[in-house]
Structure 1
């Protein structure tokens, strides 16, 4: 069994997260963070992070980057919409941002002790979906934001995954997932989301398309600063959704199917009606001042929507209030690990009661690109909060594995390496991304390219023992030695990351991430 801790939004609070994990009675093998990690190395990196000046703080990461501290647990993370995007671009294919902390890149599938983990960084915004990866420093106010909007190209790559995936992570929620949990409970916590839900404007349509295609055991998200669980049941004979990547971003109309179990629990009960406390987000090291949830406001909280342009959620908090959900002091105040079992029957209290309806069908369809995969009958979705007092920001997931757990090996995934090698020539580095595999002939050619690339990977990577990700972190930018009083007034230069070069050399592909400035 592999014990994996899942954290919602990080927002630079690594020290508190690691201290929280050390308080658990279960040993943790791996930590997954679902975005807004904020790998800020110095004050200049702050100028590349899309947050108002009042939220530009160095956080804890620079101490791990410099080597002053070392992550006590192997940590992997995806990008969100509040990131030092200049640093993450250096590691587009993935890489160590600091010793023992690995960024999954724009999209990726990795293997940890036999557990297969996929991730999609960023959030969805339809206007940028069909563009290439054109943003480079120095960023404008526009490109500082568009750089973290997911691209069709990266979704296409993930859509080719056909082997079973245990965990998928995305920062924003798959569109329509809210209808597969206790929706009334969600609206009681975040009532301003109702407008988006009613208008089918909440979440990422491409992420839901990937959920239906990949059908992982778990899907983990963050972004909305709330804990929410759901179960999507897949029909045993269900074919993968026929949605071409040319149309994915237009899949915005989902059937509004409310579940039959949306009645909020009675007083004194949790979402499962058993009266037990499932809270797992309180860090005793942080302040625990008791205040009513209806009256507490935290002026330092980063709102979900802090820009004039609407991203992820088109509704504003009521009366301009910040987004705060405090827990009553009558609830438990210790961190607990809650097993999320594969079997609903054996551990029914792991999630709220949910609908057993299949994922609502998209309104548009076209021939699928990839074949049906050998995946799971249900996908268990979980979103968590950010690291704050009395908030549910941490969960432990136990995944069975046939590999020796003590190895703690983070490895490349052979299928993903093949997909990356086969699709690299199609990546655009300008504002326009040509149509990708829209005809049956192009789709068949892609499948054949991936098959040939897989043979190459088996011969030149797997058979020669190069699957384990090397510990090849190397600092590329100066580390902050002072406070963040300058607030990132000047943007940094572009740095060449040797990890990306080594990865491209491993696959025999061109390193186009580094723009040669000689």
Structure 2
């Protein structure tokens, strides 16, 4: 088993997060942060972050970048919508942003002690989904935002995963996942979400398709600054994912019926079906699943047994006894088997092409979203995950399957505004599958067998640290930096480095 701490949005508060983890009486093997990390090295990086000027704060990261501080726990993170995007672009394939702090990349699967962890950076916006990665510094106000919008190319790479994945991390929620938990409790905390939920505009449709496709043990998200849990039970691959309850609630009936309607439950005028049941009218059935699924305890309102850290007034967490650690997956209370109703996500564009070849995922996915790091907020939780192998040293490693997918799909990556849909027909899918198979053989021979799976500790500072800032020019965006980590990765796979533009 490995003990993995999960943090919601970081927003530059690394010191508080690490101090909170230090108060735990259980050892933490890995920290995962679900975006809005804000790897800001200096004041010029702030000019590449899409936040209002009054929120442009350096935060704690620059101290870790400069070497003044070192992360006490191996930390990995994905990108959100409030990032120094210029720095993350340097490490498009992933890399160390500071010693012991690793950016996972635009999309990825990594391996930590036998636990496979996938990640998808950014947030969903339909208008930019089918574009290439065309944004480069200096950013306009538009490209400063479009650069963190999820691209179909990066999603389709994850669709090629065929081996079981334990954890997937995304910044925004998979579209519709809120309906697999206690929705009324969510709306009690976040009333303003009702409109988006009513209009089926909340979350990322591609992320939900990935959840249905990959079927990981856990799916972790942030973005909405609230703790929320849900259980998504999966049906065989030839059927849709289902909502499972002992009795069909009116909310479930409403969501299922409208999801199956043309135009995603909208009438001819493009408005939500007026005959439907409004979310505020629905009462969650008392017989529905009511588990704190990450603690194994009945009743999600009770803090007993939760491995949960709340930032107190002193910015430190209270001590948590080791016996309260989240139970392993095999020990957790299981949801009751029950009737199922088809969940269909009509928001997903028809340009997505997925081939299913058997049940390689888990029968259910446990979803957890957490808050940001603030006093009295639920921003941190620990889970125990079983490993597939005994690993002595806790190191982050490349995943052979992902390396093969990256090598096979690299030629299709676009750096222009347009992006070719690279397997739109059955013959193209077969050609891609064969390319991945050949790449997997190559990876086995030139990476796995020669002992190059462990990610090297090759961090290098590319930009000036805060102490070296030229404040006379800090109002301008920085130049583009060449990161040798990206070149090392491309050399490892024998692919061209198109991230660096000379």
Range of TM-score over shorter length: 0.7 to 0.9
Q: How far apart are 1:373 and its partner, in Å? A: 4.6
Closer/same/farther in 2, CA of residues 354 and 10 from structure 1, 3 Å limit: farther
SS of structure 1 residue aligned to 2:309: coil
1:361 to 318, 329, 344: 344
Closer/same/farther in 2, CA of residues 52 and 272 from structure 1, 3 Å limit: closer
Closer/same/farther in 2, CA of residues 475 and 333 from structure 1, 3 Å limit: closer
CA distance in 2 between counterparts of 1:360 and 1:215 reads: 15
SS of structure 2 residue aligned to 1:164: coil
SS of structure 1 residue aligned to 2:378: coil
CA distance in 1 between counterparts of 2:190 and 2:500 reads: 42
Q: What value does the CA root-mean-square deviation take over the aligned residues? A: 3.0
> Residue 422 of structure 1 corresponds to which residue in structure 2?
408
Q: How far apart are 1:232 and its partner, in Å? A: 0.4
Q: How far apart are 1:20 and its partner, in Å? A: 0.4
1:276 to 304, 307, 318: 304
Q: How far apart are 1:405 and its partner, in Å? A: 4.8
SS of structure 2 residue aligned to 1:109: strand
CA distance in 2 between counterparts of 1:274 and 1:212 reads: 30
> Residue 64 of structure 1 corresponds to which residue in structure 2?
64
CA distance in 2 between counterparts of 1:199 and 1:339 reads: 35
2:418 to 432, 437, 440: 432
SS of structure 2 residue aligned to 1:460: helix
> Residue 111 of structure 2 corresponds to which residue in structure 1?
111
CA distance in 1 between counterparts of 2:175 and 2:473 reads: 35
- Asked whether 1:339 is paired with 2:350, we answer no
> Residue 439 of structure 2 corresponds to which residue in structure 1?
453
Query: What is the aligned residue count?
Result: 457
- Asked whether 1:490 is paired with 2:489, we answer no
> Residue 389 of structure 2 corresponds to which residue in structure 1?
403
> Residue 304 of structure 1 corresponds to which residue in structure 2?
none
> Residue 321 of structure 1 corresponds to which residue in structure 2?
none
Q: How far apart are 1:409 and its partner, in Å? A: 1.5
Closer/same/farther in 2, CA of residues 260 and 354 from structure 1, 3 Å limit: farther
Closer/same/farther in 2, CA of residues 261 and 156 from structure 1, 3 Å limit: farther
Q: Is the 1:48–1:491 contact (alpha carbons within 8 Å) kept by the matching residues of 2?
A: yes
SS of structure 1 residue aligned to 2:111: strand
- Asked whether 1:167 is paired with 2:153, we answer no
CA distance in 1 between counterparts of 2:27 and 2:456 reads: 24
Q: How far apart are 1:234 and its partner, in Å? A: 0.9
> Residue 14 of structure 1 corresponds to which residue in structure 2?
14
Q: How far apart are 1:282 and its partner, in Å? A: 1.9
Closer/same/farther in 2, CA of residues 384 and 448 from structure 1, 3 Å limit: same
Q: Is the 1:281–1:390 contact (alpha carbons within 8 Å) kept by the matching residues of 2?
A: no
> Residue 49 of structure 2 corresponds to which residue in structure 1?
49
Q: How far apart are 1:367 and its partner, in Å? A: 5.6
- Deviations 1:137-188, CA, capped at 9 Å, x for gaps: 0000000000000000000000000100000000000000000111111000
Q: Is the 1:421–1:507 contact (alpha carbons within 8 Å) kept by the matching residues of 2?
A: yes
> Residue 286 of structure 1 corresponds to which residue in structure 2?
314
Q: Is the 1:232–1:356 contact (alpha carbons within 8 Å) kept by the matching residues of 2?
A: no
The aligned runs of 1:19-34 (5 Å cut-off) are: 19-34=19-34
Closer/same/farther in 2, CA of residues 448 and 483 from structure 1, 3 Å limit: closer
Closer/same/farther in 2, CA of residues 49 and 261 from structure 1, 3 Å limit: farther
> Residue 237 of structure 2 corresponds to which residue in structure 1?
238
CA distance in 2 between counterparts of 1:95 and 1:276 reads: 38
Q: Is the 1:80–1:122 contact (alpha carbons within 8 Å) kept by the matching residues of 2?
A: yes
- Normalising by structure 2, what TM-score? 0.85
SS of structure 2 residue aligned to 1:89: helix
- Deviations 1:2-37, CA, capped at 9 Å, x for gaps: 000000000000000000001011100000000000
- Normalising by structure 1, what TM-score? 0.82
The aligned runs of 1:191-270 (5 Å cut-off) are: 191-235=191-235, 237-239=236-238, 253=264, 260-261=285-286
The aligned runs of 1:369-408 (5 Å cut-off) are: 369=355, 371-408=357-394
CA distance in 1 between counterparts of 2:382 and 2:470 reads: 33
Structure 1: 5+ residue runs without aligned partners?
243-250, 289-331
SS of structure 2 residue aligned to 1:407: coil
Closer/same/farther in 2, CA of residues 182 and 442 from structure 1, 3 Å limit: same
CA distance in 2 between counterparts of 1:182 and 1:355 reads: 17
Q: Is the 1:437–1:443 contact (alpha carbons within 8 Å) kept by the matching residues of 2?
A: yes
CA distance in 2 between counterparts of 1:229 and 1:508 reads: 42
- Asked whether 1:74 is paired with 2:74, we answer yes
SS of structure 1 residue aligned to 2:496: coil
